[in-house]
Structure 1
Amino acid sequence: MGASHRQIQGLLVTLAGGACLPNAIPPSERKLLATWTVSPKWRMAKDTTIWENSNGESYPFGVWIANYAASYAANVMVQVLIEEVFGFNTTSGLGPGTVSGFYGVGGCLNPNDNNDPQCGTEVPTKYHLNMEAWVNGYPLVWKNLQLEHPKTAPDDLGSMGYAGYAGSFLTEEVITTAHKTEGIALQYYKFWNASWYEPSKYTNTITDFNLSRWLKPCMNSDSVFMDDTTMRRHIQFTGDLDGLVLNTSNSRYYAKCQDGYFWRAPSCRGNASQCVPFVTGGSGWSIEEMMQKSVVLYMPLGLAVAAGWTEYTQIPFHYPKMQVYWWVPDPSFLELAPQMMQWAPLDKRGWANGYQVSQLGSIPIKKLVSRDLMVLAPNVRSFVSNIMISLKQMDEILLDQKNTSATWEDATCKWLLANEPVWRSWIPDESQCFPGFGLYDSVLKDFVDARENATNKIICQVYSVFRKALQSRYTAGLKWMM
Structure 2
Amino acid sequence: MLRSHASARTSLKKWCAALLFVLGTSAELCLPDAIPEGERQNVLDSAGREIPIKFIVFDWHAAEVLSSIAKIMVEEALGYHAVFDEHRPFTVMDVALKLSGCLDSTCNDMQISDSHVALDCWLGSAGTDTDTFMQQHPGKAPEDLGSIGYEGEEALVVAGKLVDEAYEHSGFALDFYRSYNQSHYSARKHFDGIADLPREDFLRCDDPVAIFVDTPYMNDYARWSGDTDGLLAVEGGYNAAGLLLPTSV
Instruction: Verify the 8 A CA contact 2:105 2:133 in the aligned structure 1.
Output: no
Give the aligned residue type for 2:60.
Y
Equivalent of 2:159 in 162, 168, 171 = 171
Give the match for residue 133 of structure 2: 144
Give the aligned residue type for 1:65.
V
| Alignment of 1:90 onto 2:95 | no
Indicate how the Cα distance of structure 1 residues 214 and 115 shifts in structure 2: closer, same or farther if over 3 A, else same.
Answer: same
Indicate how the Cα distance of structure 1 residues 62 and 198 shifts in structure 2: closer, same or farther if over 3 A, else same.
Answer: closer
What number of residue pairs does the alignment pair up? 199
SS of the aligned residue for 1:163 comes to coil
Give the match for residue 100 of structure 2: 106
Give the match for residue 60 of structure 1: 52
Give the aligned residue type for 2:141.
A
Give the match for residue 34 of structure 2: 24
Equivalent of 1:130 in 118, 134, 143 = 118
Give the match for residue 204 of structure 1: 191
| Alignment of 1:76 onto 2:68 | yes
Q: CA deviation at 1:155?
A: 0.6
Q: CA deviation at 1:193?
A: 4.0
**How far apart in 2 are the matches of 1:282 and 1:66?**
25
After superposition, residues 74-473 of structure 1 pair within 5 angstroms as 74-93=66-85, 94-97=87-90, 98-108=92-102, 110=103, 114=104, 123=112, 125-136=113-124, 137-147=126-136, 149-160=137-148, 161-165=150-154, 168-178=156-166, 185-193=173-181, 199=187, 203-204=190-191, 206=193, 211=195, 214=198, 237=226, 283-284=242-243, 305=244, 312=246, 332=249
Q: CA deviation at 1:190?
A: 2.2
TM-score (norm: length of structure 2): 0.58
**How far apart in 2 are the matches of 1:205 and 1:56?**
57
Indicate how the Cα distance of structure 1 residues 205 and 132 shifts in structure 2: closer, same or farther if over 3 A, else same.
Answer: closer
Question: C-alpha offsets along residues 279-318 of structure 1, whole Å, 9 cap, x if unaligned?
Answer: xx9933xxxxxxxxxxxxxxxxxxxx46xxxxx46xxxxx
SS of the aligned residue for 2:31 comes to coil
Give the aligned residue type for 1:126.
D
Question: C-alpha offsets along residues 121-146 of structure 1, whole Å, 9 cap, x if unaligned?
Answer: 6x4x4221111223342322342344
**How far apart in 2 are the matches of 1:194 and 1:151?**
49
Question: C-alpha offsets along residues 249-288 of structure 1, whole Å, 9 cap, x if unaligned?
Answer: xxx99xxxxxxxxxxxxxxxxxxxxxxxxxxx9933xxxx
SS of the aligned residue for 1:133 comes to coil
Give the match for residue 447 of structure 1: none
Instruction: Verify the 8 A CA contact 1:59 1:126 in the aligned structure 2.
Output: yes
Q: CA deviation at 1:19?
A: 2.3
Seq. identity, %: 20
Specify every segment of 5 or more residues in structure 2 that has no aligned partner in the other structure, as ranges: 1-23, 213-217, 234-239
Give the aligned residue type for 1:107.
G
**How far apart in 1 are the matches of 2:140 and 2:40?**
26
Q: Which has the higher strand share?
A: 1
Instruction: Verify the 8 A CA contact 1:175 1:187 in the aligned structure 2.
Output: yes
Structural RMSD (CA): 4.6
Specify every segment of 5 or more residues in structure 1 that has no aligned partner in the other structure, as ranges: 1-13, 37-54, 245-251, 254-280, 285-304, 307-311, 314-329, 333-482
Give the aligned residue type for 2:73.
L
**How far apart in 1 are the matches of 2:227 and 2:107?**
39
SS of the aligned residue for 1:80 comes to helix
Give the aligned residue type for 1:103.
L
**How far apart in 1 are the matches of 2:109 and 2:191?**
49
Instruction: Verify the 8 A CA contact 1:102 1:142 in the aligned structure 2.
Output: no
Q: CA deviation at 1:96?
A: 2.5
TM-score (norm: length of structure 1): 0.33
Give the aligned residue type for 1:76.
S
Give the match for residue 215 of structure 2: none
**How far apart in 2 are the matches of 1:88 and 1:142?**
31
**How far apart in 2 are the matches of 1:129 and 1:115?**
19
SS of the aligned residue for 1:84 comes to helix
